Chain A
């Protein structure tokens, strides 16, 4: 149990009167790549955002590396943390957004070194050296001085991945990282992610790219209506789904 990077138990979340997450359980072990599939509105993004507390939970519990992001355990009870303490715990969780969310007033390099300097207390020299290396790793050597608007969508998303990696996260969350991209740019981002997966990064990936799930996932989780319907290896879930809802969803990709 304590070896899991991510543990979610009975996670519930409502917006107003609609319950979006109705008791999610999920464990992710170190080095594992978990792909979350599910129809639009099934709560995939909400669940990812609950993991790093961009959304608060209504019930249940999520721990990352054995600790609650938003709470301390004292005397057998959870106690809410202050915003600054929550910020400190978020640094171990990288997140890549559908819309990239790069900082448009900073160059690619400045985007990457901002948090290592501000949060990890790295020196500018050291952070810059690592950022140059990370940019090369995502195939963008030499683009340090480019502003986000001067880069293609696929390049922007790879800068965003490098920015998240610069924090040396224990867990990376990807929320439909290729959905905002032109079809011909999807491949370069997925290739980067596959390389990270095989390098042993622990990742939870929400995506509609079934081929990525098949090739890179250690485990596929199918969500519908705020619940985990089934999970297993890509072969089990994609090629031999047990549930009618999974079959109905997958039939759209054939």
Chain B
């Protein structure tokens, strides 16, 4: 026994892993071939099938009405996300606060807005006047200062912003809360021991570290939001999709118009993907693992793999 253990390495001490033969990967090559065949077929269909109507796509891609619809879509995304993030941070702080009333109020909010479909919430805000014909501003249970007609106040745009933003707040709250909880409690104690105020500890120590856990899922949320704004076409707000729909309802070029819509959504989400990867790098300062670079998806051999 002992001799074999000693003999095995001694036999080839001049060998060097530098010159070792790499493993062959026949299955990798075969699967790549299959994918290539499918890709070639897809390209052939895209080019030869006239139903795609590429000339129509190209003509409408930069049409003024479409670009204006895209503007509405982007504006809705930005405003709804800003509301969602601000609301999310507030709700998350309430959720982990020492005050039990705040905790359960935030919990109730999240339960309601995550538990009902966004589409229903949108239609609900759109029809708010059926529930509350007038909105009053004044002291609760006391005198009313001004009163507005709900129908004039809640335009389709405001209904869309409220519906998407309030709903987003519930999801962001859970993301932010998860991020805050992932920071070592010793960090807060170190800040306290230095005499820092809680607000400063949150802003300078906890949140920047929580960001590493908050940014990636928030990037997902933004990309979901870009697409979720398409829901507002049900309340006749002329976003990208609604504009395209009203065009193909006239021209019956349904597929080309949907392709125009898809191309624009893809363009926007691609830009967001790049932006996200830069933000992730920023918040990974001092971390052991670097955030994946934007170009990583082009790498054939995964980084750091031995194969």
- Chain A residues with CB under 8 Å of chain B are 52, 54, 83-84, 87-95, 97, 99, 101-107, 114-115, 118-119, 147-149, 163-164, 167
Contacts and interface: CB of A to CB of B under 8 A. Distances in A.
A148 B288 CA distance: 10
19 contacts: A54-B193, A83-B198, A89-B195, A90-B194, A93-B193, A94-B193, A97-B186, A97-B190, A101-B184, A101-B186, A101-B190, A103-B187, A105-B208, A114-B194, A115-B191, A115-B194, A115-B195, A118-B204, A119-B194
A118 B197 CA distance: 9
Contacts of A83: 197-198
B200 interface: yes
B285 interface: yes
The size bracket of the interface on B is 20 to 34
Interface in B200-233: 200, 204-205, 208-209
A88 B196 CA distance: 8
A54 B189 contact: yes
B287 interface: yes
Given A54-B189, A115-B195, 7 more contacts: A84-B198, A87-B198, A90-B194, A97-B186, A115-B194, A118-B196, A167-B194
Nearest to B209: A105
A123 B285 CA distance: 24
Interface of B: 184, 186-187, 189-198, 200, 204-205, 208-209, 283, 285-288
Nearest to A147: B286
Nearest to A146: B286
Contact of A149 (B184, B191, B205, B288): B288
Contacts of B195: 87-92, 115, 119, 167
A44 B195 CA distance: 22
A89 to B, nearest CB: 8
A115 B190 CA distance: 10
A106 B198 contact: no
B196 A115 contact: yes
Contacts of B197: 83-84, 87, 118
Contacts of A84: 197-198
Which 7 pairs across A and B sit closest by C-beta, in order of nearness? A91-B195, A147-B286, A101-B190, A115-B194, A95-B193, A101-B186, A90-B195
A160 to B, nearest CB: 8
Given A114-B204, A147-B285, A149-B287, A101 B196 contact: no
Contacts of A167: 194-195
Contact of A101 (B187, B285, B286): B187
Nearest to A90: B195
A14 to B, nearest CB: 19
B285 A90 contact: no
A95 B204 CA distance: 19
A54 B204 contact: no
Contact of B192 (A90, A102, A104): A90
Contacts of B191: 115
A52 B160 CA distance: 50
Given A104-B286, A147-B285, A87 B186 contact: no
B62 to A, nearest CB: 43
Query: Which of the listed residues B195, B197, B283, B285 has the most CB atoms from chain A within 10 Å of its own CB?
Result: B195
